[in-house]
Amino acid sequence: MKNILIIADGILAKNFLERLFNSKNNALHNYTVITYNEETIPSWDVNFENFVFYNFDPTSLGKLKLHLKTEFEQAMVIMQNEFDIICVCENLRQIYPNLEMDVLDLWGMRRHFKGDNLISIIDARKILSSRFMDFIPDVPVIADNIGMGVGEIMEVQVPHGSSYAYRHVGNIRKKRWKIAMIYRNGSYTIATADALIMPNDTLLIVGEPRILENVFRAIKKEPGQFPNPFGNNIYLELDMKLMSGDEIDLLINDTLELHQKINSKKLFIKLINPTLCQNFSRIKGLRSNKILVDIDYFSTKISIKKSKMNELDIGLVITNNKIFNLYKRNLEELKVPVLKIGKNGFKMLKKGVILGSKTDAESNSSVIMDCCKQLDFSIDFYHFDSKFDNSSKELIEHFESLSKIFNKKVNIINDSINPLLKLRNTDDILQFLSFNNKILDSKFGAIFSKDINRLHYILDDNYQLFIPQHDKL
């Protein structure tokens, strides 16, 4: 058992002693409590064998020496007068040169104890203001007195319409952070992979402080933010040597259409291998506060670097089928969504289509939700997998949840015909796919596969949005 000295005075000290007496762990150590008078001691009788009480003026060095005959491992000084605290600490340091002290500070006293590494200052003003901040809406609640206290432990409430609502914990990509617990209706549960996050849940999250700040903003954001959280801007690179005039024209038309409809801040257009033509004049004429045009007279090949995407805060790259197939490995490394345009114009699109497993649909649901909400598309989900059964409770729960997220019915289509064969002749769909290694496979390697993602090339003539398999959070 450790010997702990407590020097207490005032209403705050009295409240602290009350909590100490009520603590189930107060029998673990021996306590010596010094107060000016008995008013600071809680009114009920305390008969704990490990508590000793003294009433005298602790600012008197002589009185302290007279009563303190024990060696203490720690001292706690909680008093309501700044001068008294300074005197008490100086006296204790004379008596116990190596004693560790915890001092309550209401005035900014750190300067008085500069150089004494054995004194820990508890800044009450900082703690109270931090606690008060917790009550401001949409401000993250951070554990100040646990761990390092720098924001590595945080709690956040999931609002209605959040991209995290109705998602399973295991299908949220997490890098350098974790969901530890879920609080709901006055109870808590450990966050397992199959735990479903509901609106108004409070999540206890842990990880790198900077990452957690981004996670907090992502959870709090309502639908209608895409291309965020990947970035705020759209990027289009044109090669006048590699692309025909019609291809450039279609890319520009679709990009401008999308830029107007989704929540993008700026559009960056880069042009390489420029030649004097009607399209060249049109591209130069697009310059405005929200459309930035870069005409590169020196580069001869398309080069889309991740560092440049980060610098420009790019959240969506737009290209066509020819460029996508030539540079898809480079595009996958960017870890931002890539829209590959089709042949018939973006204005023709009416619905979003999800093909593949439940896991793909759920992990991409936040992006799908944002896109379809902003573009006012209906949603069809096709699954071509004999392992799934529509009567499965988990699958039904998942799609009911997705319907709530989208605030519109998700059409679940399950039949024995490969949906790629049914959709290859349609021209009004935007297909959502996970941008993973399966997309990088060659057609020759994928031709005998039944995996929907590996067979993405069957819908090459359609619009396809490739969503990266890596959270930028």
Q: What fold does the segment set 233-339 form as a domain?
A: Rossmann fold (3.40.50)
Strands (E), 329-409: 338-340, 351-355, 378-382
Report, as an integer, the average pLDDT of 251-279.
94
Q: How far is CA 158 from the centre of its chain?
A: 12
pLDDT of residue 473: 41
- Cβ atoms < 10 Å from Cβ of 229: 20
**Tens of pLDDT along 90-126?**
999 999 999 999 999 999 888 888 888 899 999 888 8
Decide if pLDDT at 39 tops 60.
Answer: yes
**Tens of pLDDT along 270-292?**
999 999 899 999 999 999 999 99
- Kindly report the length of the chain: 473
| Cβ atoms of 92 and 6 closer than 8 Å | no
| Cβ atoms of 109 and 86 closer than 8 Å | yes
- Residue 181 tokens read as 């617990």
pLDDT of residue 404: 67
Choose which CATH entry (3.40.640.10, 1.10.540.10, 3.40.50.300, 3.40.50.720) describes domain 2-127: 3.40.50.720
> Is residue 204 helix, strand or coil?
strand
pLDDT bucket at 162, cuts 50 / 70 / 90: confident
CB-side neighbour CA atoms (13 Å) of 338: 26
Report, as an integer, the average pLDDT of 427-453.
73
Q: What fold does the segment set 346-468 form as a domain?
A: Rossmann fold (3.40.50)
Q: Please tell me the distance from the alpha carbon of residue 294 to that of residue 312, in angstroms, as a whole number.
A: 13
Task: Write the CB contacts of 286 (distance below 8 Å, at least 6 apart in sequence).
Answer: 252, 256, 269, 293
pLDDT bucket at 361, cuts 50 / 70 / 90: low
Domains 2-127 and 346-468 share a fold: yes
Decide if pLDDT at 323 tops 70.
Answer: yes
Arithmetic mean of pLDDT over the chain = 85
Query: By C-alpha distance, which of 263, 264, 244, 387 is closest to 321?
Result: 244
Report, as an integer, the average pLDDT of 122-147.
79
Decide if pLDDT at 240 tops 90.
Answer: yes
Report, as an integer, the average pLDDT of 251-278.
94
Superfamily of domain 137-220, CATH level 4: Regulator of K+ conductance, C-terminal domain (3.30.70.1450)
Q: Phi/psi at 276 (nearest 5 deg)? A: -70, 115
pLDDT bucket at 472, cuts 50 / 70 / 90: very low
Between 9 and 385, residue with greater pLDDT? 9
Decide if pLDDT at 447 tops 70.
Answer: no
pLDDT bucket at 350, cuts 50 / 70 / 90: very high
Lowest mean pLDDT segment, chosen from 5-14, 18-27, 136-145: 136-145
Q: Please tell me the distance from the alpha carbon of residue 367 to that of residue 342, in angstroms, as a whole number.
A: 20
Decide if pLDDT at 7 tops 80.
Answer: yes
Domain ranges of the chain: 2-127, 137-220, 233-339, 346-468
Task: Write the CB contacts of 329 (distance below 8 Å, at least 6 apart in sequence).
Answer: 440
Report, as an integer, the average pLDDT of 185-205.
90
Decide if pLDDT at 390 tops 50.
Answer: no
Report, as an integer, the average pLDDT of 175-201.
90
Q: Which CA distances in Å does 300 have to 249, 257, 273, 295, 303? A: 20, 28, 6, 12, 9
Q: Please tell me the distance from the alpha carbon of residue 433 to that of residue 121, in angstroms, as a whole number.
A: 54
| pTM for this entry | 0.62
